[in-house]
Amino acid sequence: MIDYAVILAGGFGTRLRSVVNDTPKALALVGGKPFLFWLLSLLSARGIKRVLMLLGYGAKQISDYCGDGKEWGLFIDYSVEDEPMDKGGALRLAMDKINASNFFFMNGDTFFDVNFSAMAEFHLERTSDLTIATRKWPSIDRTDPLEIDEKSRVISFGRKDLPPDHRGEWFINGGIYVVERELVEGLPCKRMSWEHELIPRFLNDGKALYAFSQEGKYFIDIGVPEDYHRAQESIPLVCKNILKIGENI
């Protein structure tokens, strides 16, 4: 089991400003608690032990809230950027703090209840360089569609001209990855986009990228007001069910 997770939680939350204007997006209240409460609860329930937060905007507010992670049974550390590095740059900046050969990497504003242990096993069995959690979705707005072969290897990423399947759906990026550290530690330490720059580069360089499909699993991105409002009841319900019934992880 891979028990290390890296969370990007340094976004400004520009699209949420109409409803959340005085706090970092990762601390936006959902069901009366900061979003990170629910995300960290999910990770703890799924067997994650160590977390590294990648912070920028609102770093002190987030570190003051999360502390050392004991509330969730986690060990939490922090990497803080002095200037915006984008997602790829923020991860590269933090590599000296990541004491793991592979790790989960995710957004601090997305809740996707993947089977973490199965995803880790899938990644290791295929000696994948990068594994992307995916699901079917009826729209490619605000998402990155993937083209996948019969062995679950990623052929293309982010192409908006891909046709939907017979149900009118696409495989989309769910925003959770398993990453081999060797894939990142050789990159230059500068501002880089993870999805728009680095993943296409990894594909072009012939790296082994695989898609781990999670059909039927709860998924929501709170980055826009309509989904933020939707999350108010659905995330607490999903998370409380997870904590109540448990799962083999």
Please give the average per-residue pLDDT across 167-192, as a whole number.
Answer: 96
The neighbouring-strand residues paired with 210 are: 131, 153
What CATH number does the domain containing 162 carry? 3.90.550.10
Domain containing 101: what range?
4-245
CA dist., res. 99 & res. 191, Å (int): 22
What are the structure tokens assigned to 12, written together? 């400004």
Fill in the amino acid letter for 135.
R
How does residue 13 score in pLDDT terms, banded at 50, 70 and 90? Answer: low
Task: Give the β-pairing of 33-34 and 154-157.
Answer: unpaired
DSSP-derived letter for residue 82 is S
Say what the pLDDT of residue 247 is: 45
Local structure of 163: helix, strand or coil: coil
What are the structure tokens assigned to 152, written together? 């679950």
What would the pLDDT profile of 34-69 be if each residue is shown by its tens digit?
A: 999 999 999 999 999 999 999 998 999 999 999 999
Please give the average per-residue pLDDT across 151-155, as a whole number.
Answer: 97
| Count: domains in the chain | 1
